[in-house]
Amino acid sequence: MIQKISAPVSVSFTFDSKKRKIFPKWIVWSGRLYPVVKIGLHHTYRQGRILYHVFSVTSKNLFFRLVLNTESLHWKLEEISDGLPD
């Protein structure tokens, strides 16, 4: 099931300067910690002057769409899914 959400979320984010790789390590949402195991896709879009980075990531069995507002540097959780039909 896919659920659209619009909630602030805590994200731990790392940058490896040697590999030049970025990675959201874990997120805390609704009082629970979810370690990120995979980035499916990273893409960007603009809304007016603001650039948003979208990270489509999965924990063990949940998908999260995380969006970083590059002006405020705040994260938002926009979607979760368990990959099952409605």
Partner 1 sequence: MVYPTNLVFNPKSSTMMHIDLNSCFATVEQQANPLLRGKPIAIAAYTTPSGCILAPSVEAKEHGIKTGMRVRDGKLLYPGLIVLPTDPEKYRNVHVSLRKILRDYTNDFTPKSIDEFVLSFDGYPILAKNSMRQIAEQIKQRIKDEIGEWLTVSVGIAPNRFLAKLASNLRKPDGLDEINKSNFLEIYSKITLTDLSGIKARNAARLAYAGIYSVTDFYKADIRTLKAAFSSINGYYWYLRLRGWEIDDFEFGRKSYGNSYALPKPLITPEELSPILSKLVEKMGSRLRRADYKARGIHVSIVYRDWSFWHKGISFPKVLFDSRDIYKKAFKIMCSAPYKKPVRELAVSCFNLLKSDFSQLELFEDVIKKESLVKAIDRVNEYWGDFIIIPARMVNAKGAVPDRIAFGGVKELEEFINNH
Spatial separation of the C-alpha atoms in residues 52 and 4, rounded to whole Å: 17
Binding-site string for partner 1 from residue 58 to residue 77, where x marks contact by CB under 8 A and - marks none: x--xxx--------------
Interacting residues of 71 by C-beta distance below 8 A, sequence separation 6+: 49, 50, 51
Single out the residue of 45, 70, 71, 74 in contact with partner 1 (rule: CB under 8 A): 45
The amino acid that residue 46 corresponds to is R
In the block, residue with structure tokens 């949402």: 29
Single out the residue of 12, 30, 44, 70 in contact with partner 1 (rule: CB under 8 A): 44
Single out the residue of 18, 20, 49, 73 in contact with partner 1 (rule: CB under 8 A): 49
**Footprint of partner 1 on this chain (CB under 8 A)?**
2, 38, 40-41, 43-45, 47-50, 54, 56, 58, 61-63, 81-86
